[in-house]
A and B are shown apart, each in its own frame.
Chain A
């Protein structure tokens, strides 16, 4: 090798001729075939034949090593081109070289690795290579990389020559044991563990070496490894743990050695060792049987119980405790699965007996200290199989029932009932209760009486547990008898309506809701009539406030049980009837009552969405009824404007929106089309024939001009709720006309509610409108109306609202016009009159709107629209800010704040450094929204990019400290959080400010608001620790 110019060619010559020299004729043949392939790669290079020959013969091992290294590297490049004979000769050459000087060995191994990847390796060669390696090389005295090469060779052969290697018998296993014995490098261990795992799972012969193989791997257990900082290999402790566990838990043959080791490590003081042992035990249970476990069961149990029963007190051991329970569960499951032969004793039975013996008496301890740990152990065992469940519950349940009656205090009863509940929940795993063998069924009467007594206890906590237990009992098919069930319903009604505590009442409603689908007849036949009765009763002598809260609860309960279609058919008419009644009544504050009814109706609508039949029933019943009531009220108001119907108040109409929307979104397209053909003509033409009770005094013309039609126009909100929630493929009749009417209304109406609604409805339709000429025309029309409106005149605000909603509709669907509209909006930030409203509009653009233009109502929303809006418009915002006059600068900051607020924080952190100067300026802005959002942006930045932030530490400290005395609580809290986050900057940067910050933070310690004080305490505490020992 005279020059570096032709190493490949030199190596080729060296390899072939060198090999040929040693082995006779083969070399020439190899060279002939190799050359063309190589020439292709090293075309144009001068070929030198004999240069390497002397290299391989050289007496200096270094030079010899270099020659072989070169050959090996060439082989690594071109092993796939080699032919069978060439491989044979190269293998023989390399095997021979294994006896060479130790300096040469690494290169020899490289070459063998290349050859091990050859597909044309003749049979027998793999075995001979491995034998040679096992015999000639002391692997553990090699460097890490070379050891890795040996493992790779073995892995390669195991992948392709499995049958041949198995022919070696246990010798292969023994050879490998010697190879890996003493391995320390985590990179190599991962490979070695994989090899052992394959040895075992692919049934290589282990012969007499089972214990050796176990020793050579188990010596690493439990894994104690901390990756060095900046480790380029990225091997984590967890990787090693998992791959070692896979080995240890791969065969029952290891059991007799492994189980004593696990038992020893379970009692270790190191928490990680405990966790690892327990998790390994759990993994082993998946493949072990009675035979393996038998001998060790007593010690396993005593180690397992040790952690829960001794150390419950320590919070740190919660994880260990959970793993103990998981291991016990796995152990019991393993024992339950084993097939019993008639002559052996039932291990499961004796195992459970010892558990019961150790845990049972704790359940009776009056001070209840070890009650929970014992119960958890028992539950873990009971949950393993049906057999364990029967065995444990037949002993424990009667005991718990007896204890319940023995202890009169509610707190103790609660603990006992919670345990009972745990066992009942386990029964749910197996579904129905089997008639003949269930212990639970034989205890039905006492269990029911205990649960019912809890429901009538004055203690709310006990009631809550009782309600949960009731839910579980009800979910067990066939457990509750019809008479019990009636009692259950009565209890639930009593708790839901009359229990003082709102927690219990709420829980009772939820319980009713979850039981109703199981027993629809009982609930619709017994509960609904009772609730209806309560709703209608006019009680004398009760304060109106009590009466109202009772009615509220009735409404909530009705909504909660409306789960099953047959119940919905009972409850919806009751709710609508009540709404009519409230509307007729003249009570003050009945708007609030109507809102409550609407909330209940909304909940029912959501629960109906799942099933098509219920959904259609609901839609058909509720939507026309609500429309009819609203239309009637509007007409009455048109006739007598002074009456002031509660139904037409904005808050009530707003509460109807989600009802109609939820009733519409899940309709099938055919049914939706049927419905839309009624509703749209109602609004456009006053076609009232489909409404119930449709005799109205005058005509319904919401889109006509006229002073007295104000009330009718407001109902456009109901049209919006319906038409904007339709599935996208439902055609809307007369859509063009509808859009024009909406546009006109939004620009011309004086009432802000109606104008905004019309704009939203317009936007909702435009968002779903298929692209094309029609859409372009209608958008052009909208622009033509907006532009003059925005420029001047009395209705600039309406025009701005329309602009905002249309922009939102188009931004969401990436429509090309959206950027023009956004620019228009950005231009308005500089407007002294509309600027602040335009700035707030950015929040509308970015936020999820509750009623229209969201995914739930089938709007066209692209997933990344916020990010796209951010990248498109931030430069313009920044530019606008720098060019703006002092009186409108705040508008730009506010707009920016709104955009930043709605972006996911991880996205922000990468983008923010470019905005940093603007954000620092924004800290001085007096606007509360700007301050809050700026602080909210800076806080994650302080944690994620401390280096960049360090440059501005002076400004940051000053601004944060001054904002801690802001008049707004939220700003104070955010400023203190930022002051806290400052401590993640490098300590050297912060130390000059330490005294000042600690002094300044003393003031918020005495803040009048507790939440502020809490943040101040945390921040100040952290600043005290800066640069102090023990941080």
Chain B
């Protein structure tokens, strides 16, 4: 019985995606309010961008949103960490590195590059310069994984992409705080 209703024509690309429980707002601890004690930068501090708007109709948008959406305010690491069997700590404050893996929920997600780019731009804007960023697709979850990873790792290509005002617009839309 779960399927497109009588009104909606197009079948969903991925009708029944895997859903994660949201971590919710992080409660402020007494330690965080203490002026003296330092808090190290940790996993929950990097927040996810919104899913990009899909050029297709609403039916498509629904599909893409559930494919790879990372709701704003959700911990990227829980969504984007690689396989559950190898726990990885995406943020390492001491060594100034961030490694983010993201998992498109279907292997042919056409938005993977854009999502990766959005994550990367968000991290560039939000983290101190000392951090070395690494954004890539969780191994084995996307058809053109290597191509996408290569694009994301190439600084010049990222910079060039952001020169493209159309692309920048879409990325900015994903990062805009407004709904």
Contact = CB atoms under 8 A, between A and B. Distances in A.
Interface stretch (A262-270, A451-459, A474-482, A741-749): A262-270
Given A269-B8, A1025-B175, A1028-B168, A358 B1 contact: yes
Among B1, B28, B71, the one with the most A-chain Cβ atoms within 10 Å of its Cβ is: B1
Interface in B122-179: 122, 125-130, 165-166, 168-173, 175-177
Given A315-B71, A1002-B128, A1029-B168, A1009 B41 contact: no
Interface string A298-319: 0100110110011111110000
Nearest to B41: A1013
A235 B35 CA distance: 51
Nearest to B7: A267
Given A313-B66, A369-B16, A1029-B165, A1020 B126 contact: yes
A262 B129 CA distance: 55
A1017 B126 contact: yes
Given A268-B7, A311-B62, A1008-B38, 19 more contacts: A269-B57, A269-B58, A299-B6, A303-B5, A305-B1, A310-B2, A313-B17, A313-B19, A358-B1, A369-B19, A370-B2, A968-B35, A1006-B128, A1006-B130, A1009-B32, A1009-B39, A1011-B28, A1025-B176, A1031-B172
A1031 B66 contact: no
A1030 B177 contact: no
A215 interface: no
B15 interface: yes
A234 interface: no
A1005 B128 contact: yes
B33 interface: yes
B38 A267 contact: no
A755 to B, nearest CB: 32
Contacts of A269: 8, 57-59
Nearest to B47: A1017
B114 interface: no
Contacts of A302: 5-6
A306 B19 CA distance: 18
Nearest to B17: A313
B45 interface: yes
A64 B38 CA distance: 87
B7 A314 contact: no
Interface string B26-60: 00100011010011010001010000000001110
Contacts of B65: 314
B126 A264 contact: no
A443 interface: no
Interface in A237-281: 264, 266-270
Interface in A981-1023: 1002, 1005-1006, 1008-1011, 1013-1014, 1017-1018, 1020-1022
Given A269-B57, A1025-B176, A1028-B172, A314 B125 contact: no
Nearest to A370: B2
Interface in A929-961: none
A1011 B41 contact: no
A969 interface: yes
A1024 B28 CA distance: 27
B176 A1031 contact: yes
Per DSSP, chain A at the interface is: helix
B126 A1021 contact: yes
22 contacts: A264-B7, A267-B8, A303-B5, A309-B1, A310-B5, A314-B65, A315-B71, A358-B1, A369-B19, A969-B35, A1005-B126, A1006-B130, A1010-B45, A1011-B33, A1021-B122, A1028-B168, A1029-B165, A1029-B166, A1030-B170, A1030-B171, A1030-B173, A1031-B176
A425 B144 CA distance: 51
Counting contact residues on chain B (CB < 8 A from A), the size range is 35 or more
B20 to A, nearest CB: 10
Contacts of B28: 1011
Contact of A309 (B2, B66, B172): B2
Nearest to A998: B125
A306 B173 CA distance: 30
B70 to A, nearest CB: 11
Among A1013, A1022, A1029, the one with the most B-chain Cβ atoms within 10 Å of its Cβ is: A1029
Contacts of A267: 5-8
Among A968, A1002, A1005, A1010, the one with the most B-chain Cβ atoms within 10 Å of its Cβ is: A1010
Contact of A1025 (B59, B127, B129, B172): B172
A1030 B8 contact: no
A968 B28 CA distance: 17
Contact of B172 (A369, A1020, A1030): A1030
Contacts of A310: 2, 5, 15
Interface in A704-755: none
A1014 B45 contact: yes
A600 to B, nearest CB: 23
